[in-house]
Amino acid sequence: MTTRRTFLSLTAATLATPALSKLAFAQAWPSSRPIRVIVPFSAGSSLDVIARIVSGYVSTELGQTMVIENRGGAAGSIGAAIVAKAEPDGYTMLAHASAHTLAPAIYAKLPYDASADFAGVISFGTLPNVLVVNPSKGFKTVQEFVAAAKASGEFTYASAGIGSTTHWAAERLRASAGFKGVHVPYKGGLDALTEVFAARVDFACMGLSSALSFIQNKQLTALAVSTPNRSKALPDVPTTLESGYKDSDYNYWNGYLMPAQTPRPIVEKLYEVTKKVLAQPDVMEKFVPQGIEPMPVTPAQFDAIIKKEIADNTALVKAIGLTPT
């Protein structure tokens, strides 16, 4: 005979089972196979460089191989779509950048919802986009550059693709400074930088991780960075804001995302492990030449940032007259 006490005990155990199962699953994760980390831009891009640094250490902490897959194209939306449709079991994840929140404003019909279909895990940090030109142009300041761009009306600017962070950083500067130009998108950041280095394109606003070696080797001249404050990696280079161009800054974050239905214990576990990795002195040391600054946010805060940026970018695209493709 089932007593009331027995009934309540059985009911409590039944209700607790799903939660316990999810917890046990998270504790066991990752155990069955390597983790795919989709990087939606080409090898050698700023995001790729940073994702490989972080994932190498996270892999060690988790005790499981993490395999980077570069799936570039369409402002990162091709790679993002793969993750959005993946089984939410913790074995397929996305290493993306702030281009993720621009894609919905640039593309009229994405095969996913950039907010609802993903769970933000953690940001690795933010890094500057840096305005670079060929030294043969002779520009010493961003003001000289802007004056020449206005006089020309036909300056060309390279990017890692339509809707990429490199595209958007250039658009924000162009809109603020009030000059016209012709956008020339490429498949990746290195291709874009090579074209500026070869003087076939006038300028680019490229992620510092990709551009720094060109700058250090005097192959490109850095005129300004897009962050609110100067970069520790380029302390003598002014920001676009201090150069007098209001609203020209751009928050270029990068980090991990997972499919939205991934069990929260797995999301939280990856967050805690990655947070630990980002605090390690040797990782921080490797971040210095990349120009990365900390962006400490929880998964919930990361989700909120993504949602807000999507709304802000959509409004700004309309304001500057870009038509979604």
Segment 55-77, tens digit of pLDDT: 999 999 999 999 999 998 888 99
158 and 142 both lie in a single domain = yes
What does the alpha-carbon distance between residue 123 and residue 306 come to, in Å, rounded to a whole number?
11
**Assigned domain for 236 exists:** no
Higher pLDDT, 208 or 13: 208
Q: Residue 248 — pLDDT band, cuts 50, 70, 90?
A: very high
- Number of C-beta neighbours around residue 218 at 10 A: 8
**Assigned domain for 273 exists:** yes
Q: What is the pLDDT of residue 206?
A: 93
**Assigned domain for 257 exists:** yes
Which helix (H) or strand (E) element contains residue 17? helix 4-28
The answer to whether 133 and 223 have CB atoms below 8 angstroms apart is yes
Which helix (H) or strand (E) element contains residue 95? strand 92-97
What pTM was computed for the model?
0.80
113 and 136 both lie in a single domain = no
Give pLDDT tens digits for 191-226: 999 999 999 999 999 988 889 999 999 999 999 999
280 and 295 both lie in a single domain = yes
217 and 141 both lie in a single domain = yes
Pairing of strands 92-97, 253-259: antiparallel
Q: What is the pLDDT of residue 321?
A: 77
204 and 291 both lie in a single domain = no
- With pLDDT > 70 as the criterion, what percentage of the chain qualifies? 92
40 and 110 both lie in a single domain = yes
**Structural domain boundaries, residue 272:** 34-126+252-319
Total of domains in the chain: 2
What does the alpha-carbon distance between residue 105 and residue 99 come to, in Å, rounded to a whole number?
10
211 and 162 both lie in a single domain = yes
How many residues belong to the chain?
A: 325
Give pLDDT tens digits for 137-191: 999 999 999 999 999 988 999 998 887 889 889 999 998 999 999 999 998 888 9
**Assigned domain for 7 exists:** no
- CA atoms in the 13 A half-sphere facing the CB of 200: 10
SS3 98: helix
**Assigned domain for 238 exists:** no
User: The domain spanning residue 292 has which CATH number?
Assistant: 3.40.190.150
Q: At what angle do helices 264-278 and 46-62 cross, to 10 degrees?
A: 110
**Assigned domain for 243 exists:** no
122 and 133 both lie in a single domain = no
Pairing of strands 66-70, 35-39: parallel
